[in-house]
Amino acid sequence: MRRKPKLQPKKGKPVNAIDQWTTPPRKFETIAIIGAGAYGTALASVAARAGRRVRIFGRRAETVNDINKNRRNSAYLGDEPLPEGIEAFTDLKAALLGADAALLVVPSAGIREMSCAMRPHSSRSMPVVICAKGIEPNSGLLLSDVVREEMPGQPVAALSGPTFADEVVADMPTTVTIAAELAPGETLEDGLAARLALSLSAGSFRAYVSDDLIGVETGGAMKNVIAIACGISRGAGFRANMTAALITRGLAEMTQLATKLGGSADTISGLSGLGDLTLTCSSEQSRNLRFGLQLGAGAKREQTFDGAPVIVEGVRNSVSVTDLARKLGLTLPICEAVRAIVHDNADIVTTLGMLWSRPLEAESHEIDVTIGHPNASEAREKIEGLIGC
Protein backbone atom coordinates (compact mmCIF):
# COMPACT_ATOMS: atom_id res chain seq x y z
CA MET A 1 0.00 0.00 0.00
CA ARG A 2 1.41 3.39 -1.00
CA ARG A 3 2.30 5.52 2.01
CA LYS A 4 1.43 9.18 2.18
CA PRO A 5 4.36 11.49 2.91
CA LYS A 6 4.86 12.86 6.41
CA LEU A 7 5.48 16.47 5.79
CA GLN A 8 7.53 19.04 7.68
CA PRO A 9 7.24 21.94 7.12
CA LYS A 10 4.26 22.65 4.83
CA LYS A 11 3.47 19.69 2.61
CA GLY A 12 5.45 19.54 -0.60
CA LYS A 13 7.46 22.72 -0.02
CA PRO A 14 11.07 22.01 -1.04
CA VAL A 15 13.76 23.20 1.36
CA ASN A 16 17.10 24.48 0.19
CA ALA A 17 19.67 21.76 0.78
CA ILE A 18 22.72 23.86 1.51
CA ASP A 19 22.11 26.96 3.57
CA GLN A 20 19.90 26.10 6.52
CA TRP A 21 21.67 23.51 8.69
CA THR A 22 23.78 24.21 11.76
CA THR A 23 24.89 20.56 11.89
CA PRO A 24 24.76 19.14 8.34
CA PRO A 25 24.05 15.42 7.96
CA ARG A 26 26.82 13.09 6.87
CA LYS A 27 27.54 12.96 3.15
CA PHE A 28 27.72 9.78 1.10
CA GLU A 29 31.31 9.17 0.00
CA THR A 30 31.03 6.50 -2.72
CA ILE A 31 28.20 6.71 -5.23
CA ALA A 32 27.33 4.10 -7.86
CA ILE A 33 25.67 5.30 -11.06
CA ILE A 34 23.65 2.54 -12.72
CA GLY A 35 23.41 3.47 -16.36
CA ALA A 36 26.13 4.99 -18.57
CA GLY A 37 23.94 6.85 -21.01
CA ALA A 38 23.94 10.63 -21.37
CA TYR A 39 22.09 11.39 -18.14
CA GLY A 40 23.83 8.75 -16.07
CA THR A 41 27.22 10.06 -17.18
CA ALA A 42 26.12 13.63 -16.50
CA LEU A 43 25.11 12.72 -12.93
CA ALA A 44 28.40 10.87 -12.51
CA SER A 45 30.12 14.16 -13.39
CA VAL A 46 28.00 15.98 -10.80
CA ALA A 47 28.97 13.50 -8.09
CA ALA A 48 32.65 13.62 -9.02
CA ARG A 49 32.71 17.43 -8.96
CA ALA A 50 31.14 17.26 -5.49
CA GLY A 51 34.11 15.20 -4.30
CA ARG A 52 32.46 11.79 -4.30
CA ARG A 53 34.10 8.56 -5.46
CA VAL A 54 32.04 7.50 -8.47
CA ARG A 55 31.59 4.01 -9.91
CA ILE A 56 29.44 3.88 -13.05
CA PHE A 57 27.92 0.76 -14.60
CA GLY A 58 27.37 0.44 -18.33
CA ARG A 59 26.50 -2.53 -20.54
CA ARG A 60 28.54 -1.43 -23.57
CA ALA A 61 32.25 -2.22 -23.26
CA GLU A 62 33.20 0.53 -25.72
CA THR A 63 31.44 3.16 -23.61
CA VAL A 64 33.07 1.91 -20.40
CA ASN A 65 36.49 1.91 -22.06
CA ASP A 66 35.93 5.41 -23.40
CA ILE A 67 35.11 6.70 -19.92
CA ASN A 68 38.08 4.97 -18.29
CA LYS A 69 40.71 5.71 -20.93
CA ASN A 70 39.65 9.00 -22.48
CA ARG A 71 37.47 10.60 -19.79
CA ARG A 72 34.76 10.93 -22.44
CA ASN A 73 31.45 9.30 -23.25
CA SER A 74 31.68 10.01 -26.96
CA ALA A 75 28.67 7.92 -27.91
CA TYR A 76 26.29 10.06 -25.84
CA LEU A 77 28.04 13.32 -24.98
CA GLY A 78 30.53 13.93 -27.77
CA ASP A 79 33.86 15.46 -26.78
CA GLU A 80 32.71 16.91 -23.44
CA PRO A 81 35.45 16.02 -20.92
CA LEU A 82 34.51 14.23 -17.71
CA PRO A 83 36.02 15.13 -14.34
CA GLU A 84 38.53 12.95 -12.56
CA GLY A 85 37.26 10.40 -10.07
CA ILE A 86 34.90 8.38 -12.28
CA GLU A 87 35.58 4.67 -12.73
CA ALA A 88 33.42 2.67 -15.15
CA PHE A 89 32.51 -1.04 -15.10
CA THR A 90 30.62 -3.54 -17.21
CA ASP A 91 30.23 -5.73 -14.11
CA LEU A 92 27.27 -4.62 -11.97
CA LYS A 93 28.65 -6.27 -8.84
CA ALA A 94 31.94 -4.42 -9.22
CA ALA A 95 30.18 -1.09 -9.78
CA LEU A 96 28.17 -1.53 -6.57
CA LEU A 97 31.14 -2.68 -4.48
CA GLY A 98 31.51 -0.32 -1.52
CA ALA A 99 28.79 2.05 -2.71
CA ASP A 100 27.08 4.15 -0.02
CA ALA A 101 24.29 5.17 -2.43
CA ALA A 102 23.22 4.24 -5.95
CA LEU A 103 21.62 6.45 -8.58
CA LEU A 104 19.41 4.33 -10.85
CA VAL A 105 19.61 6.03 -14.25
CA VAL A 106 18.05 3.56 -16.69
CA PRO A 107 14.84 4.01 -18.73
CA SER A 108 11.65 3.51 -16.74
CA ALA A 109 10.97 0.25 -18.59
CA GLY A 110 14.16 -1.22 -17.12
CA ILE A 111 13.68 -0.24 -13.48
CA ARG A 112 12.22 -3.57 -12.32
CA GLU A 113 14.80 -5.71 -14.12
CA MET A 114 17.72 -3.61 -12.91
CA SER A 115 16.43 -3.47 -9.32
CA CYS A 116 16.22 -7.24 -9.30
CA ALA A 117 19.77 -7.49 -10.66
CA MET A 118 21.09 -5.05 -8.05
CA ARG A 119 19.52 -6.77 -5.04
CA PRO A 120 22.17 -9.47 -4.35
CA HIS A 121 25.03 -6.94 -4.65
CA SER A 122 23.61 -4.10 -2.55
CA SER A 123 23.94 -3.50 1.17
CA ARG A 124 20.55 -3.17 2.87
CA SER A 125 21.38 0.35 4.03
CA MET A 126 22.33 1.64 0.56
CA PRO A 127 19.75 4.14 -0.75
CA VAL A 128 18.51 3.67 -4.30
CA VAL A 129 17.81 7.01 -6.00
CA ILE A 130 15.44 6.79 -8.96
CA CYS A 131 16.41 9.17 -11.76
CA ALA A 132 14.00 7.79 -14.38
CA LYS A 133 10.52 9.21 -14.91
CA GLY A 134 7.52 6.98 -15.38
CA ILE A 135 4.69 4.83 -14.09
CA GLU A 136 4.90 1.08 -14.62
CA PRO A 137 2.35 -0.22 -17.13
CA ASN A 138 -0.27 -2.73 -15.98
CA SER A 139 0.63 -2.43 -12.30
CA GLY A 140 0.20 1.36 -12.20
CA LEU A 141 3.04 1.56 -9.68
CA LEU A 142 5.30 4.53 -9.22
CA LEU A 143 8.92 3.56 -9.82
CA SER A 144 9.72 3.84 -6.10
CA ASP A 145 7.13 1.16 -5.43
CA VAL A 146 8.66 -1.03 -8.15
CA VAL A 147 12.05 -0.76 -6.44
CA ARG A 148 10.49 -1.53 -3.06
CA GLU A 149 8.94 -4.70 -4.48
CA GLU A 150 12.24 -5.92 -5.93
CA MET A 151 14.50 -4.65 -3.11
CA PRO A 152 12.42 -4.94 0.09
CA GLY A 153 13.61 -2.74 2.93
CA GLN A 154 15.94 -0.69 0.72
CA PRO A 155 15.85 3.10 1.31
CA VAL A 156 14.38 4.77 -1.78
CA ALA A 157 14.55 8.34 -3.08
CA ALA A 158 13.93 10.17 -6.37
CA LEU A 159 15.90 12.88 -8.16
CA SER A 160 13.93 14.93 -10.66
CA GLY A 161 13.80 18.37 -12.21
CA PRO A 162 14.45 20.42 -15.36
CA THR A 163 17.69 18.94 -16.68
CA PHE A 164 19.29 18.28 -20.04
CA ALA A 165 22.31 16.01 -19.81
CA ASP A 166 24.61 18.12 -21.99
CA GLU A 167 24.11 21.16 -19.74
CA VAL A 168 24.59 19.12 -16.57
CA VAL A 169 27.85 17.55 -17.72
CA ALA A 170 29.13 20.99 -18.77
CA ASP A 171 28.43 22.28 -15.23
CA MET A 172 25.87 24.81 -16.43
CA PRO A 173 23.40 26.07 -13.78
CA THR A 174 20.97 23.28 -12.90
CA THR A 175 18.47 22.78 -10.08
CA VAL A 176 16.69 19.58 -9.07
CA THR A 177 14.51 18.25 -6.30
CA ILE A 178 15.52 15.17 -4.32
CA ALA A 179 12.64 13.50 -2.49
CA ALA A 180 12.54 10.76 0.12
CA GLU A 181 9.99 9.88 2.75
CA LEU A 182 10.91 10.69 6.34
CA ALA A 183 11.63 7.91 8.82
CA PRO A 184 10.07 8.25 12.29
CA GLY A 185 11.74 11.11 14.14
CA GLU A 186 13.43 12.53 11.04
CA THR A 187 13.02 16.05 9.66
CA LEU A 188 13.85 17.39 6.22
CA GLU A 189 17.13 18.69 7.66
CA ASP A 190 18.48 15.28 8.64
CA GLY A 191 16.64 12.85 6.37
CA LEU A 192 17.83 10.85 3.39
CA ALA A 193 17.01 13.57 0.85
CA ALA A 194 19.17 16.04 2.77
CA ARG A 195 22.14 13.67 2.83
CA LEU A 196 21.83 13.08 -0.91
CA ALA A 197 21.46 16.77 -1.68
CA LEU A 198 24.55 17.67 0.32
CA SER A 199 26.46 14.83 -1.34
CA LEU A 200 25.70 16.09 -4.86
CA SER A 201 25.39 19.87 -4.64
CA ALA A 202 28.53 21.54 -5.96
CA GLY A 203 29.54 23.97 -8.66
CA SER A 204 26.45 24.96 -10.64
CA PHE A 205 24.39 21.95 -9.52
CA ARG A 206 21.96 22.80 -6.73
CA ALA A 207 19.58 20.34 -5.07
CA TYR A 208 16.47 21.09 -3.05
CA VAL A 209 14.87 18.52 -0.75
CA SER A 210 11.32 17.30 -0.27
CA ASP A 211 9.56 14.43 1.47
CA ASP A 212 6.80 14.31 -1.15
CA LEU A 213 8.09 11.33 -3.12
CA ILE A 214 4.67 10.77 -4.70
CA GLY A 215 4.41 14.31 -6.05
CA VAL A 216 7.94 14.35 -7.43
CA GLU A 217 7.52 11.03 -9.23
CA THR A 218 4.06 11.83 -10.61
CA GLY A 219 5.20 15.14 -12.08
CA GLY A 220 8.16 13.50 -13.77
CA ALA A 221 6.01 10.74 -15.25
CA MET A 222 3.38 13.06 -16.71
CA LYS A 223 5.40 15.97 -18.07
CA ASN A 224 6.67 13.93 -21.02
CA VAL A 225 3.12 13.13 -22.10
CA ILE A 226 2.20 16.82 -22.05
CA ALA A 227 5.38 17.61 -24.02
CA ILE A 228 4.25 15.23 -26.77
CA ALA A 229 0.92 17.06 -26.86
CA CYS A 230 2.71 20.39 -27.28
CA GLY A 231 4.82 18.95 -30.08
CA ILE A 232 1.81 17.53 -31.91
CA SER A 233 0.06 20.87 -31.64
CA ARG A 234 3.02 22.84 -33.01
CA GLY A 235 3.74 20.27 -35.70
CA ALA A 236 0.13 20.46 -36.88
CA GLY A 237 0.39 24.23 -37.30
CA PHE A 238 -0.90 25.63 -34.03
CA ARG A 239 0.95 28.46 -32.36
CA ALA A 240 1.88 29.91 -28.98
CA ASN A 241 -1.63 30.30 -27.55
CA MET A 242 -2.30 26.58 -27.95
CA THR A 243 1.06 25.64 -26.43
CA ALA A 244 0.39 27.84 -23.40
CA ALA A 245 -3.04 26.27 -22.98
CA LEU A 246 -1.64 22.73 -23.15
CA ILE A 247 1.11 23.49 -20.64
CA THR A 248 -1.29 25.13 -18.18
CA ARG A 249 -4.06 22.56 -18.45
CA GLY A 250 -1.45 19.81 -18.52
CA LEU A 251 -0.16 21.12 -15.21
CA ALA A 252 -3.72 20.86 -13.87
CA GLU A 253 -3.87 17.21 -14.97
CA MET A 254 -0.54 16.54 -13.24
CA THR A 255 -1.91 18.13 -10.06
CA GLN A 256 -5.10 16.05 -10.22
CA LEU A 257 -3.27 12.73 -10.42
CA ALA A 258 -0.58 13.64 -7.89
CA THR A 259 -3.04 14.79 -5.24
CA LYS A 260 -5.29 11.78 -5.84
CA LEU A 261 -2.30 9.53 -5.10
CA GLY A 262 -1.49 11.45 -1.92
CA GLY A 263 1.05 13.96 -3.24
CA SER A 264 1.03 17.73 -2.91
CA ALA A 265 -0.05 20.43 -5.35
CA ASP A 266 2.88 22.51 -4.04
CA THR A 267 5.29 19.88 -5.36
CA ILE A 268 3.72 19.98 -8.82
CA SER A 269 4.24 23.75 -8.90
CA GLY A 270 7.95 23.24 -8.14
CA LEU A 271 11.06 22.10 -10.00
CA SER A 272 10.00 18.47 -10.50
CA GLY A 273 6.61 19.51 -11.86
CA LEU A 274 6.23 22.94 -13.45
CA GLY A 275 9.98 23.39 -13.85
CA ASP A 276 10.48 20.13 -15.74
CA LEU A 277 7.24 20.63 -17.69
CA THR A 278 8.34 24.08 -18.86
CA LEU A 279 11.73 22.83 -20.04
CA THR A 280 10.39 19.75 -21.80
CA CYS A 281 7.58 21.62 -23.57
CA SER A 282 9.68 24.56 -24.74
CA SER A 283 12.99 23.17 -25.99
CA GLU A 284 13.54 21.00 -29.03
CA GLN A 285 16.33 19.26 -27.13
CA SER A 286 13.43 17.31 -25.61
CA ARG A 287 12.91 13.98 -27.36
CA ASN A 288 9.26 14.00 -26.37
CA LEU A 289 8.63 17.41 -27.90
CA ARG A 290 10.51 16.47 -31.08
CA PHE A 291 8.56 13.23 -31.34
CA GLY A 292 5.31 15.18 -31.10
CA LEU A 293 6.48 17.73 -33.65
CA GLN A 294 7.14 14.98 -36.17
CA LEU A 295 3.79 13.30 -35.53
CA GLY A 296 1.97 16.61 -35.85
CA ALA A 297 3.72 17.29 -39.15
CA GLY A 298 2.40 14.00 -40.54
CA ALA A 299 5.06 11.40 -39.76
CA LYS A 300 4.02 7.94 -38.69
CA ARG A 301 5.25 6.74 -35.32
CA GLU A 302 7.81 4.39 -36.84
CA GLN A 303 9.15 7.21 -39.05
CA THR A 304 10.09 9.54 -36.20
CA PHE A 305 13.81 10.15 -35.57
CA ASP A 306 14.44 8.62 -39.02
CA GLY A 307 13.48 5.22 -37.67
CA ALA A 308 16.28 5.21 -35.06
CA PRO A 309 15.48 3.33 -31.82
CA VAL A 310 15.18 6.43 -29.62
CA ILE A 311 13.51 6.07 -26.22
CA VAL A 312 10.62 8.52 -25.85
CA GLU A 313 9.31 8.04 -22.30
CA GLY A 314 6.04 9.86 -22.96
CA VAL A 315 4.93 7.21 -25.48
CA ARG A 316 4.86 4.46 -22.88
CA ASN A 317 3.67 6.74 -20.12
CA SER A 318 0.68 8.03 -22.08
CA VAL A 319 -0.77 4.54 -21.57
CA SER A 320 0.34 3.94 -17.99
CA VAL A 321 -0.79 7.40 -16.85
CA THR A 322 -4.23 7.16 -18.43
CA ASP A 323 -4.74 3.58 -17.25
CA LEU A 324 -3.99 4.64 -13.69
CA ALA A 325 -6.21 7.72 -13.96
CA ARG A 326 -9.13 5.63 -15.23
CA LYS A 327 -8.75 3.24 -12.29
CA LEU A 328 -8.89 6.22 -9.96
CA GLY A 329 -11.94 7.73 -11.66
CA LEU A 330 -10.06 10.73 -13.08
CA THR A 331 -10.40 12.27 -16.54
CA LEU A 332 -7.17 13.60 -18.05
CA PRO A 333 -8.21 14.94 -21.49
CA ILE A 334 -4.76 15.95 -22.76
CA CYS A 335 -3.10 12.69 -21.74
CA GLU A 336 -6.03 10.76 -23.26
CA ALA A 337 -5.64 12.74 -26.51
CA VAL A 338 -1.94 11.87 -26.71
CA ARG A 339 -2.70 8.21 -26.10
CA ALA A 340 -5.35 8.20 -28.84
CA ILE A 341 -3.09 9.88 -31.40
CA VAL A 342 0.09 7.92 -30.62
CA HIS A 343 -1.33 4.45 -29.99
CA ASP A 344 -4.67 4.39 -31.83
CA ASN A 345 -3.74 6.54 -34.84
CA ALA A 346 -6.57 8.91 -34.01
CA ASP A 347 -7.02 11.86 -36.34
CA ILE A 348 -5.13 14.85 -34.93
CA VAL A 349 -7.70 17.48 -35.96
CA THR A 350 -10.61 15.50 -34.56
CA THR A 351 -8.80 14.71 -31.32
CA LEU A 352 -7.66 18.29 -30.72
CA GLY A 353 -11.15 19.48 -31.61
CA MET A 354 -12.55 17.30 -28.83
CA LEU A 355 -10.43 19.22 -26.31
CA TRP A 356 -12.12 22.44 -27.41
CA SER A 357 -15.63 20.99 -27.45
CA ARG A 358 -15.57 19.57 -23.91
CA PRO A 359 -18.09 20.99 -21.42
CA LEU A 360 -17.16 24.40 -20.08
CA GLU A 361 -16.15 24.26 -16.44
CA ALA A 362 -14.39 26.01 -13.57
CA GLU A 363 -10.64 26.30 -14.03
CA SER A 364 -9.82 24.68 -10.70
CA HIS A 365 -10.31 20.91 -10.66
CA GLU A 366 -11.28 21.27 -7.01
CA ILE A 367 -14.50 23.07 -8.02
CA ASP A 368 -17.00 20.72 -9.66
CA VAL A 369 -18.92 23.07 -11.96
CA THR A 370 -20.12 22.34 -15.50
CA ILE A 371 -21.50 25.34 -17.38
CA GLY A 372 -22.58 23.82 -20.68
CA HIS A 373 -21.38 22.44 -24.00
CA PRO A 374 -19.82 24.60 -26.71
CA ASN A 375 -20.66 23.92 -30.33
CA ALA A 376 -18.54 20.86 -31.19
CA SER A 377 -18.93 21.09 -34.98
CA GLU A 378 -18.04 24.77 -34.89
CA ALA A 379 -14.89 23.99 -32.90
CA ARG A 380 -13.82 21.38 -35.44
CA GLU A 381 -14.48 23.70 -38.39
CA LYS A 382 -12.42 26.43 -36.77
CA ILE A 383 -9.49 24.06 -36.12
CA GLU A 384 -9.60 22.69 -39.65
CA GLY A 385 -9.53 26.23 -41.01
CA LEU A 386 -6.57 27.18 -38.85
CA ILE A 387 -4.34 24.36 -40.07
CA GLY A 388 -5.57 24.32 -43.65
CA CYS A 389 -7.46 21.02 -43.76
Instruction: Tell me the catalytic residues.
Output: 223
| Strand intervals (E) in 180-324 | 205-210
CB 46 within 8 A of CB 69: no
| CA pair distance 47, 32, nearest whole angstrom | 10
How do 30-34 and 128-130 pair as beta strands? Answer: unpaired
Binding-site residues from annotation for NAD(+): 35-40, 165, 287
Taking alpha carbons only, the member of 201, 154, 149 closest to residue 173 is 201
| CA pair distance 13, 127, nearest whole angstrom | 22
| CA pair distance 207, 198, nearest whole angstrom | 8
* Residues 6+ positions from 364 with CB-CB distance below 8 Å: none
| CA pair distance 220, 218, nearest whole angstrom | 5
What is the strand order of the sheet 128-130 is part of? 15-16, 205-210, 174-179, 156-160, 128-130, 101-104, 30-34, 53-57, 86-89
Taking alpha carbons only, the member of 165, 164, 163 closest to residue 82 is 165
Running DSSP on this structure, what letter comes out for residue 135? B
Taking alpha carbons only, the member of 32, 168, 153, 35 closest to residue 102 is 32
At 271 the three-state DSSP class reads helix
Binding-site residues from annotation for sn-glycerol 3-phosphate: 133, 161, 163, 223, 276, 286-288
How do 128-130 and 156-160 pair as beta strands? Answer: parallel
Binding-site residues from annotation: 35-40, 59-60, 76, 133, 161, 163, 165, 223, 276, 286-288, 311, 313
**CA 247 centroid distance within chain:** 16
Binding-site residues from annotation for NADPH: 39, 59-60, 76, 133, 165, 287, 311, 313
CB 271 within 8 A of CB 15: no
**CA 324 centroid distance within chain:** 17
